[in-house]
Every structure is written in C-alpha cells, then in structure tokens.
Amino acid sequence: MPSALTYPGVYIQEVPSGVRTITGVATSITAFVGRASAGSTDEPQMLTSYADYERRFGGVDLACPMSYAVRDFYLNGGTMALVVRVAHADARTATIRLTGSGSPAADLVLDASSAGAWGNRLGAAVDHDTDRALPRTSPPSTNEHRFNLAVRYRPRIGRDEFVVENFGSVSTDPADPRFLPRVLERESAYVRVVAAMPGLRPQSTVSLHGSTRTVTWVDADAHSGSDGGPLQDKDVIGEQGPKTGLYALNRADLFNLLCIPPLSRDIGSLPSSYTPASAAIYQAALTLCVERRAMLLVDPDPSWGASISSAIDNAINGRNDLNLTGADARNAALYFPCVRMVDPLRDSRVDTFVPSGIVAGVIARTDVSRGVWKAPAGLDAALNGVQDLQVNLNDLENGELNPLGINCLRSFGVNGRIVWGARTLRGADASADEYKYLPVRRLALFLEESLYRGTQWVVFEPNDEPLWAQVRLNVGAFMQGLFRQGAFQGATARDAYFVKCDSQTTTQSDINLGILNVIVGFAPLKPAEFVVIRIQQMAGQIPT
C-alpha cells in the first residue's frame, strides 16, 4: 500500500504480477580452436558468416585445417561461430618502418595487428598534404606533427590486388585528438603502433611533379612476420589463469559445441596427412565442456580410414585410445569416417577432411528446423559439399560401431551422404547410461543453462511460499512452452514434465542454511534408432 495515507481520496498502486519470463538460450553456437593465418590470438571472436572469418582470420589456408572446418560449418547451415586462434610461442608480428628525420629513434614503426606471415604483405605510404582544401600543387602542411597515412594489404600472394585503408590528418602529438595510435586502434584492421611514437612526423613517401603525385609504398620488413612453429598440446590447451588456448573460451558468455580441428596439415601427398588433436587436448576440452554445459565434437584421425580393411578396428582402437570415458563422456560425440571434399586451393582436387565442422553445421540446421530435442541424424541430416566418404560403411560395419557409441557417416545412394548416428561417447550399450543419446543430453544442457540464467533474480529473495509460488509459475511457464513445441514425451503436461518448489523440497533446515531447492523433471524424446517392421502371411479362412 502507499507509504502514507494523508488525504481523503483514491490512491492508485501498481502491483507486480510476479511473472519473470525465462528465455531459452542459444543451442548451436559452435566454438573452434586452432591455427589460422591471421587474427588476434587467444581471444574468442564471434562470427556470423564465413565472410567474417575471411576478414578477421584470413580465409581458407592450406596450412590451417580450422579454416576449412569453419567454412564447412557455414556451408551446412551454421549461423554463429566462436573462433579462437592459437599459435606457437615463436610466432612473430610483421613491422613497417617509416623513416623519420635524423636517427632511427625518429622512425615510425607500424606493427601488424596480429602475428603471422600475412603481415609481410602489408605496406604503408605517407604524405604531408593534410590541408585538403588547398590545391595539390600548394606547399605541404607546415605542422611537423600532422600527416596522412595510407596502409595497403595484399590478400592473395602473387596478385596485385590490394585493400587500402586511409587515415587523414593524423598526428604524433599525444594531446591531439587524431593521435595516431588511438586512430589505428579504433579504425584499422591491419596495423597498430606498439613502439614509442617519434616526436615528429615521418618523411613523405609521395613526390610531387607539377600536378602529378607519385606514391612510393614502404613494404613490411622482409620476413619480419612469422606463423611460428607447429602447434603443440600446450599451445592449444593453454592456461586457465591468463585464459589462453582452450581456456580463452572462458572469456565468452556462451558456446554449445566445441570443435578442435587437426593441429597441422601436410599437403606433400594426396590425400593430405594431418596431425590430429591429441588425447590430452581432447580430455582438457571435455572437462571444459562439462563446466560450460557444452558438447565436444570429436574428429576421427584421418589415418583410421587409410586402410579400408582395418578401418573398423582402427576406429574402435582410436576411440579407446582417446580415453574419453566416465560420466563426462556424456558431453562428447565421435563421428566416423572422414569426408572427401574439393579443395579450392589445390586445383579443385578432392582431398580428405575431418567432419566436425560439417556435423556442427548439421546440428545447427536441425536445431533451427526441428529443435534441440531432434536427433541431428537421418535423411534430413545431409552433408553438404561432401563428394564422398573416406570409408563407405555397410550395415554390418555400422552395426559394429554403433553399439560402441561411434556415430557413422553413411552414403545412401540417391539420398547422398548423411549423418547416421546420434549417440554420445557414453552411448555404448555396455554403459547403460541415461544420456545415451545426443538429443537427450543436449536438451538437458539446454534446460540447465536456460534455467540457470533465468532464475538469477531468485537469489537473496525471501525464502518462503510467495517466492516458491513465483518460481513454480515462471519455471512451469517455460517448460509448458517447450511442451507445446513438442520437446517432451507425453500427451499431457502432467506426463511430460513437473516442477516442484515447496515446503517438501525446501525444509526449514534448508531455509536456515539459505538454500532453495527446485526440482524439475522432464520426459525426453528418444530417437527411433531401430525400426522393426513385422510382416506375416495371412493363411486365409481356415474353418474350425
């Protein structure tokens, strides 16, 4: 009621409804961790298209299996990717040295925005014509701090095609609003100023002959940028404290799927050979996925299918060697075999690639069209862009792998190449785990993350029946919405889910300890993995 009733009359008060809508979180944000040809390292970047990847990480690169995985993700229906570029410690950043007046200390040194050999294709030019209102035949500006800077980048080796950035009227004076380091930080995709700024502007690289201007570009110092040595386990795993490697994903708010493409690729032969992620990397990644309520998509080693006669044994032994076992294995899924696709950088020849990026795209596409509760497998789960599979499995071979929790990719004639398995790595028949199926596990993770985020308002509220009623109302409304979308089993809501939050779930002892217990149960949909059709002959009418 109003704080004080002082005058005779009508008082109006707004009463809160107690409704706090719980919104379901995204289900298919896919994180990729691996080598890229460009881009900042150990920093997650959210991308919404492959064009974003090309701008930030350099696009498809022969030496970077991750670039193909991200491409395949978007090709198969993916929408949001979270990319972390990792590099070995000896990776170097390219530099451009623009000559100043006097000693080398007066030179302006521009650094590429990230480490890598890509920076060796940068160049810069300077002119002093900062007063654009004057005709170009006029004397240049007399302000010894102000100048114009142009930066160019050659995206493709051997092609005289450039992307140019222009920064007009920048300054070497820290008090100037156009102070160069600040301008580049805000506006440039390619260069930064890391070293100390010189006191005066660099010399002009533009010569003026009447009305003709000749620009001389200063290229990056020869081989100053380097991609560094081969990736090692510690480069990919990183450290939790500074949040490097895999743990850079802890800087991100949310991700649902994690892919770790091979660490390197050797194109000395066809098919290419790869250095896959090690068991240590996958084990660290699985632990992170459990903490972040995400799924790990495990790639097969391309060497498993090199010998077709022993491919099944190799897959089984390889799965065991990864040692992704125990309850945590509920958050991982393995797909076999690798796929065969056209490589645009190798004269469109067909080469072997890992399938995790493709599968992540299929999962994202299924989530949009059917929901997270639908198994991302079956005739609708087509593998776009795939020419063939490394190994074409038959039903009997599929029957050896499926009971072990290995999801198979199959070729079905007119239906093309499709995903034909939906089990977690805890899905082996011998494990008898309740999270045997991938859609059941992903639905549980979706509910956990959505309820975790959607009930933060409850913390520090008075722990009594009015609060419990609000919790039942809001969580129940969220579950009812999913039930109406077909997320659960059951013909009625009572059969599909329940929400309990009352004096039975939260006792007086719990209240004294500051604890509120909410119990949410759901009846998951499980995929029709085995369809049995019984056929018998009718014997006709036999008189009795």
| Average pLDDT of the residues in 383-388 | 96
Mean pLDDT on 13-17: 84
Question: pLDDT tens across 516-534, in order?
Answer: 999 999 999 999 888 888 8
The DSSP-derived string for 29-67 is: -EEEEE--SSS-BS--EEESSHHHHHHHH-S--TT-HHH
| pLDDT number for residue 542 | 65
Q: What is the arithmetic mean of pLDDT over 239-261?
A: 96
**pLDDT computed for residue 132 by the predictor:** 57
What pLDDT was estimated at residue 134? 45
Give residue 82's pLDDT.
97
pLDDT in tens, 122-132: 999 999 887 65
Q: pLDDT-derived band of residue 2, with 50, 70 and 90 as boundaries?
A: low
Q: Hey, what CATH class is 30-89+228-440 in?
A: alpha beta
**Average of per-residue pLDDT values in the chain:** 92
pLDDT digits (tens, 9 = 90+) for 443-476: 999 999 999 999 999 999 999 999 999 999 999 9
pTM score: 0.92
Residue 133: which pLDDT band, with cuts at 50, 70 and 90? very low
Separation of alpha carbons 188 and 170, rounded Å: 13
Q: Write down the pLDDT at residue 1.
A: 53
- pLDDT above 90: residue 211: no
Summarize pLDDT for 352-363 with one digit per residue, the tens: 999 999 999 999
Per-residue pLDDT at 238: 96
Residue 136 pLDDT exceeds 70: no
470-490 pLDDT, tens digit per residue, is: 999 999 999 999 999 999 999
The sign of the dihedral angle between the CA atoms of 300, 304, 305, 309 is negative
Question: What b/e sequence results for 258-296 when a residue is b if at least 16 CB atoms lie within 10 Å of its CB, and e otherwise?
Answer: bbbbbbbbeeeeebbbbebbbeebbbbbbebbbebbbbb
Q: Where are the domains of the chain?
A: 30-89+228-440, 95-219, 464-544
